[in-house]
Structure 1
Amino acid sequence: MMLQAVLLASLAVVAHGTICCAPQQWEGFKDYTIVDNSGGERGLQYYSYDALNQRYALSTNYTDNVSSNKEIWDYRQGTGYRINSDKQTCESFAISGRFPANCIPSGAAELGPLFYGFGTDSLSALAFQFNDTRNEFQNTVALVTRRDCVPIISTTTILRPGNNYLYTLGYNNVFPGIRDATVFDPPSYCRKSAMTEVNSLYKALRV
């Protein structure tokens, strides 16, 4: 479940007002580190974010820019997929709730402007801190570019009874837009898996 927390985390799920939001369509790499009472985990994900159509896709644990594990989350369709292209396996699951917006919520405290690098190579950024207490206590410090609110780094502490979490996300090689929209299309064997599940359920109901 440690990894699942990172898969869903961008900046914040925003319901009431924002200071700024990332572009509605972008792609890039997320380098994540998670630590809890049982140990830690590190990995690299390629992330395609499409707020216009309320969906995102990610490929996990890249090695030499190759990954066989992929997830597609389509909130408009209410369906997600967990895919292993090497084994050609596909698990579908239902999705509910609000699409996770890449935004800084209106109640966030600004920690001050800053920049990376120097001179003409400097990147101007803003840092914010905010809490989320709807389901559990979360404290996040997020750094975004001053222009366009593109995520740079975020660190989140989650307090749970008996097990606290710390995870960090570093974003790199971010590009605007979606270069290939088929990244959101499940492979053909996903549809075959879905038909197998339907047929199995039908047979069980007839018994």
Structure 2
Amino acid sequence: MPCVLWVARNSSAYLSDLVHPMAKLEASSTRLFASAWRPIANMIRVFMLLMTVGAVLGTYIIQGNTAPTLTRVNTGPKPCQTIPQWEGRASEWNHITESNNRYIISFDGVGLRKRVLKEAKSFMPGERQYNYIMEFKTNTLYTINLNLNTCTVTNLTQPWQNHTIPTDATLEDEYELGAPGSGFRVREWSDRLPARRAESWIGIFTIAGCWPIVEIFTDDDPQNPVSFTTRFFDLTPGIANMSVFDPPEICKSQTVHPEPEFEPEPEFEPELEFDPPITNQNFNVTIDDDKDSGPVNSYFKKGWNYLKSWF
């Protein structure tokens, strides 16, 4: 009997030692298969996802639609629009010639007409005065020299532009002008393109009504550099007298000339020299000149050849 028990015990141990390695080998094989299958399973999932997206887009396009596109949504303030008809005054500082001029302006966005009248300066005798009338429906510019009572008729080559903020303008800032409690909110815009182009135009417009307050325009053209700062004030909606757009009789008999390229000229002429010099005395200067040499260099005159100018 003891002999039988010894055989049974040793047979059981022998069978346990034989089966246990087999179980370990099977478990190890299972783990190895699972680790090798996992990347394949992920690739199959990605492939099935791409097939599903492709089927959806294919059905969308077959039904006559276009594939959706991603667009940048600008949730900030949009450029506003100034009213189509208004009048006011403007003070322009020319940083190149270090001179200042004032203008009375009338803007007719309905009839596509503009009128700019240069204001006289009482302390600059002999200064030439000009009245500009622009009719964009007929592409005609009337330049009236008020000193010599002459008129020059030329063609407008630039298309009509509303006096407003460009649609691609960049919002630079928003702030309040004036004293606390009595000021008004404005937005500052420019033609700057982030990471692509520096600004050459800056415009400050009121938030209420989109009225122009200040405009700065620069151009570093070496042959004709431009740098102007223009302030707008005394602005009123509408046009009090539409006859300001009617050219005078002296313009009706003039022949239309091609648009001239105006060069800068002195603010007033002739240049007088006195021997001995006369100081602190009032005197009148009479212009004895029978030719019209053209208007002074001005943002309102030169700026119309540029995209962002209102004139």
TM-score by length of 1: 0.74
Whole-angstrom CA distance in 1 between matches of 2:117 and 2:199: 25
* 8 A contact 1:55–1:72 mirrored in 2: yes
User: Aligned runs of 1:157-172 on 2, under 5 Å?
Assistant: 157-172=218-233
- Which structure's residues are more often strand, by fraction? 1
* Identity fraction in percent: 21
Structure 2 residue aligned with 1:30, among 67, 90, 108? 90
* 8 A contact 1:138–1:158 mirrored in 2: no
* 8 A contact 1:75–1:96 mirrored in 2: no
Give 3-state SS (helix, strand or coil) of 1:193's partner: coil
Give the aligned partner of residue 193 of structure 1: 254
Give the aligned partner of residue 143 of structure 1: 204
Higher relative contact order, chain-length normalized (CA < 8 Å, sep 6+):
1
Confirm whether residue 73 of structure 1 aligns to residue 131 of structure 2.
no
Give 3-state SS (helix, strand or coil) of 1:115's partner: strand
Number of aligned residue pairs? 171
* 8 A contact 1:48–1:178 mirrored in 2: yes
User: Aligned runs of 1:99-138 on 2, under 5 Å?
Assistant: 99-131=160-192
| Over 6 Å off, 4+ runs | none
TM-score by length of 2: 0.51
Give the aligned partner of residue 48 of structure 1: 106
Aligned residues: CA RMSD: 2.4
Gaps of 5+ in 1: 1-17, 198-207
Confirm whether residue 177 of structure 1 aligns to residue 238 of structure 2.
yes
**Which letter maps to 2:245?**
F
**Which letter maps to 2:252?**
R
Give 3-state SS (helix, strand or coil) of 1:183's partner: helix
- Which structure's residues are more often helix, by fraction? 2
Whole-angstrom CA distance in 2 between matches of 1:40 and 1:138: 22
Give 3-state SS (helix, strand or coil) of 2:98's partner: strand
Structure 2 residue aligned with 1:60, among 118, 125, 130? 118
Whole-angstrom CA distance in 1 between matches of 2:102 and 2:129: 13
